[in-house]
Amino acid sequence: MDDFINLFSHNLCIRCTGRIFANIDTGMTDYQRGTMLAFAYKSFYGTYNAPDTCWLCNGIFNEFDKYFNMVKDAIGTKEYTTFLIGSKFDPATLLEEEKIQNKYGNNGESIKKEFNREFGKYFSSISGKEFSKDADIVIEINTIYDNVNLIIRPLYIYGTYKKERRDIPQTRWINGSGDSIESLIGEKLLKFTGGKNYKLHGSGREDVDVMMLGNGREFIMEVDEPEVRNFPVKEFMEEVNNSGNGISISNLEFTGKKRVKEIKEATYDKIYRAVVECNTPINENTLLMAVNTFRNFTISQRTPTRVIGNRSDLIRKKEIKYINIEDIHDKEAVVKIRSQSGTYIKELINGDGGRTTPSLSSVYGYELKVKCLDVLKIER
């Protein structure tokens, strides 16, 4: 009985009183619990007067209209369909609340949790938007200083690209200068989405001087802080493809962050065509015997010297399915190669000073190098 009397000595409002026991009966709201407790107290002692002001919540649950308008102004014209509410309360207030709840068995919930839930319901009922843990916009309400911060989830667009030029990297240089596949797609994407920045996630990459043909390479464009989340994808694709920059995109669709990891970790066989050159006329029989060595054959590749500054110095085992000769003319040969993803094709041919073993050069017996290289197909 003393605990019952003490419960109302904290001078809390009905809602904050009920929240002390939020986890005992989850079929009621905190306000309903508080009302039931106040009724019981009044039945025992004949009177109960709720405080005009509550030192804990300061009547915040009666100010949802104010916070809704603050959020509405912060969002402005940003396009979204789902949201998540977060909040910040005075740490000292949260600590005092925790002490009171611990006194009565630690069966309560914090004012922060209730506010997030109840304001979320209120916001959804007026805005027509849906709550989601993977929301388009996270709305953070600072109840201490009465301001709103928005965290806008990036927009992700999946597609495949082809590259028909030998002078363009996949991603932007550090200083952002020059064309790249990333910038040629991304700059147009900002026009359609109103985003702040962009990033290309590729399923592997080709060298600057290698063309990406065939069925194209999978990629996902990530757009930061988009104003528009739904735009005419076909129109965007046509604008990129008609730009005359030597790249084209297809198979576009909206996707999520999870797929970034999936395409980056995916492993596929890849088919290449390489023009190989030698300092002396190529002997067809010798080259034929050399390429036959690499049928379903595993090589060892130490990270190439040309990329060692950007990659860990490791030895990787890569399977070569075949190297087939398509043509030989004097000092040049055209070969088609099918290999496991991640194989360094130029080093498979030239050996990279013994860092790739065996190489086509070492088996052929003369130094060979790649004059030009194309990706013909990614076996998905």
E-strand ranges in the chain read 82-88, 130-131, 137-142, 147-152, 155-163, 197-202, 210-224, 247-255, 269-278, 297-302, 315-329, 332-340, 356-357, 368-379
User: Residue type at 342?
Assistant: G
Give the list of residues 6+ apart from residue 352 with CB closer than 8 angstroms, or none: 302, 304, 305, 344, 346, 359
Cα dist from 91 to 99, 107, 142, whole Å: 12, 20, 12
Q: How far apart (Å, rounded) are the C-alpha atoms in residues 368 and 335? A: 12
Q: How many CB atoms lie within 10 A of CB 11?
A: 13
| Euclidean distance between CA atoms 167 and 163, whole angstroms | 10
From edge to edge, which strands make up the β-sheet containing 147-152?
130-131, 82-88, 137-142, 147-152
Rounded distance between C-alpha atoms, residue 134 and residue 78, angstroms: 17
Rounded distance, CA 189 to CA 263, Å? 20
Q: Which of 207, 209, 224, 269 is catalytic?
A: 207
Residue 88 one-letter amino acid: K
Please indicate whether residue 313 is annotated as part of the active site.
no
Residues marked active site are found at: 207
